[in-house]
């Protein structure tokens, strides 16, 4: 009989037969497609090999032979990365426990659990400094689920009150907690909310300098995933995790990266782990990695349910069809259609002319120089007063511009990825997707800038571009449409030619 010894981070398997071992290994293994990268390196290596043949000196030939050898090694390194296996030395991440248990039961393999995890006792009494209003029905359900299960992912729509729910869970658990976020902007936003509820005396934003100095830390600690990964590399992670019995990851879909999964061994002393996100279901292989760090999804509160309940603004999708330019290369086709395309610029101008003057417009772009600057200068030349923020602006400038947009002191705002996840943009009436793409995470986060409730906003208008007679752009448009229908269930669709 298989014995599964369960700790906080890993499950150790013993008494496995070779057949059982092979079965579990196959279950927890997936392949990453590096085909395009390998092909590029193969062509590069062949080009270097040809150059060796025509070298006029031994020194020159030696240089290209070294290049060939380095490229060959790069190809071999990629081959090693292609196969990802989470079953190593007869152990697997605890987050995969339910997956493995279900699999073993299905295969009729007998197993027994030896759960070595210890539920932590309360070590802190957190009190409300400013008690929140009555919780919504789904917030109560999610909080109860977190307290009962202590481990898993909460997939909850934008503007569903994730920070409030996190705070309620922390208060009820009464333990030291580490809150891990994807950006410094989001860490400040969460700090402001948590400290408003529980007081500044129990929560702080922590940087690597403070941890390495071994300074005393408050019971609720907020840090970016990048800083935590840096502390792991320099072996300073122990201090920030000292005494921590709960780790929460906000925007948890980011945790599929290797720098995040490398944290698993260091979290073995942490009992409770909860991830919060509006877009857990990634469209790549990293989903198995995410499950490994925490566990399965505990609760889902989708955006379309938020719209139905009246907690989010219903959307009207406006599809703008225009003639596109076909290219065999994706990047060239993207640039031809989205970057400075005069037909698309004219449609944006038409949208602005036809809407009510008191409405708020957010235009999201991907490439700041090839797209954002062009749209900004075009609209200025056409007489529109607008603002543009990108990675070139300081944090203060970005925050100030967003505040002015929410206060309707700015009516037209063009922005790049700096207006991304976690950024509290509320006043948008019209969202123009001038960025394209097919990533579900990026699309859902973008539309999150439109669906937040705001006084006087009855509907949010979502404008998307359908480039006819293209290969990649049309395919990605269809993928976006499917995602938008499934996640937000638009009130209606309008097609404009």
Look up the pTM and report it: 0.82
pLDDT of residue 220: 97
Query: Residue 442's closest CA among 452, 432, 433, 430?
Result: 433
pLDDT at 180 over 90: yes
pLDDT of residue 286: 63
Q: Give, in degrees to the nearest 5, the angle at Cα 373 between 181 and 474.
A: 80
Please compute the mean of the pLDDT values over residues 349-370 and round it to a whole number: 90
Which pLDDT band holds residue 92 (cuts at 50, 70, 90)? very high
Q: Which residues contact 147 (CB under 8 A, 6 or more apart)?
A: 169, 172, 173
Q: How high does pLDDT run on average in the chain?
A: 89
Q: What is the pLDDT of residues 367-387, one digit of tens each?
A: 888 899 999 999 999 999 999
Which pLDDT band holds residue 243 (cuts at 50, 70, 90)? very high
pLDDT of residue 43: 81
pLDDT of residue 283: 47
Which residue did the predictor score with more confidence, 453 or 420?
Answer: 453
Determine the 3-state secondary structure of 373 from DSSP. Answer: helix
Domains, the chain, in order of start with CATH, read: 2-115 (3.30.780.20), 137-301 (3.40.50.300), 310-496 (3.40.50.300)
- Quick check: 371 and 458 in contact, CB under 8 A? no
- 231: Cα within 13 Å, side-chain hemisphere: 25
pLDDT of residue 246: 96
pLDDT at 281 over 60: no
Distance (Å, rounded) from C-alpha 54 to C-alpha 56? Answer: 6
Q: What is the pLDDT of residues 314-330, one digit of tens each?
A: 999 999 999 999 998 99
Q: What is the pLDDT of residues 40-78, one digit of tens each?
A: 888 888 888 888 887 878 878 888 888 888 888 888 777
Please compute the mean of the pLDDT values over residues 299-327 and round it to a whole number: 95
Which of 53-62, 95-104, 258-267 is predicted least confidently?
Answer: 53-62
Distance (Å, rounded) from C-alpha 100 to C-alpha 283? Answer: 22
């Amino acid at each position: 009989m298989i014995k599964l010894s369960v700790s906080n981070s890993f499950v150790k398997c013993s008494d496995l037969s070779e057949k059982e071992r092979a079965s579990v290994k196959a279950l927890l293994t997936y392949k990453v497609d590096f085909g395009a990268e390998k092909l590029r390196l193969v062509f590069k290596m062949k080009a270097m090999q040809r150059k060796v043949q025509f070298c006029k000196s031994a020194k020159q030939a030696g240089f290209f032979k070294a290049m060939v050898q380095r490229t060959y090694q790069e190809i071999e390194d990629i081959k090693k990365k292609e196969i990802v296996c989470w079953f190593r030395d007869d152990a697997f991440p605890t987050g995969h426990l339910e997956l493995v248990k279900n699999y073993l039961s299905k295969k009729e393999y007998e197993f027994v659990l030896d759960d070595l995890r210890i539920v932590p006792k309360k070590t802190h009494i957190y009190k409300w400094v400013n008690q929140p209003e009555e919780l919504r029905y789904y917030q109560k359900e999610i909080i109860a689920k977190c307290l009962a299960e202590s481990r898993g992912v909460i997939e909850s729509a934008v503007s569903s009150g994730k920070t409030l729910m996190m705070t309620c869970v922390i208060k009820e658990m009464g333990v030291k907690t580490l809150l891990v976020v994807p950006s410094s902007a989001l860490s400040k936003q969460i700090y402001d909310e948590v400290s408003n509820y529980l007081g500044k005396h129990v929560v702080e934003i922590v940087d690597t300098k403070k941890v390495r100095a071994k300074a005393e830390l408050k019971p609720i600690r907020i840090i970016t995933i990048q800083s935590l990964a840096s502390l792991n590399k320099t072996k300073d992670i122990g201090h920030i995790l000292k005494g921590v019995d709960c780790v929460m990851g906000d925007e948890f879909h980011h945790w599929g990266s290797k720098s995040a999964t490398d944290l698993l061994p260091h979290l073995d002393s942490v009992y409770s782990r909860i991830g919060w996100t509006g877009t857990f279901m990634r469209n790549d292989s990293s989903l198995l990695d995410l499950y490994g760090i925490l566990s399965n999804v505990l609760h889902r509160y989708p955006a379309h349910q938020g719209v139905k309940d009246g907690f989010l603004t219903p959307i009207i999708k406006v599809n703008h069809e225009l003639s596109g330019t076909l290219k065999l290369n994706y990047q060239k086709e993207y640039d031809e259609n989205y970057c400075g395309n005069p037909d698309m610029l004219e449609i944006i101008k038409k949208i602005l002319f036809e809407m009510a003057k008191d409405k708020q417009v957010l235009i999201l772009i991907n490439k700041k120089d090839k797209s954002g600057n062009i749209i900004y200068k075009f609209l200025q030349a056409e007489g529109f007063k607008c603002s543009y923020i990108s990675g070139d602006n300081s944090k203060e400038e970005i925050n100030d511009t967003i505040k002015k947009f929410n206060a309707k002191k700015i009516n037209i705002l063009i922005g790049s990825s700096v207006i991304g996840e976690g950024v509290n943009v509320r006043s948008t009436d019209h969202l123009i997707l001038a960025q394209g793409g097919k990533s579900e995470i990026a699309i859902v986060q973008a539309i999150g800038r439109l669906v937040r409730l705001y006084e006087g906003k009855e509907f949010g208008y979502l404008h998307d571009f359908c480039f006819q007679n293209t290969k990649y752009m049309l395919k990605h448009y269809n993928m976006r449409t499917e995602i938008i229908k499934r996640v937000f269930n638009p009130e209606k669709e309008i097609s404009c030619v």
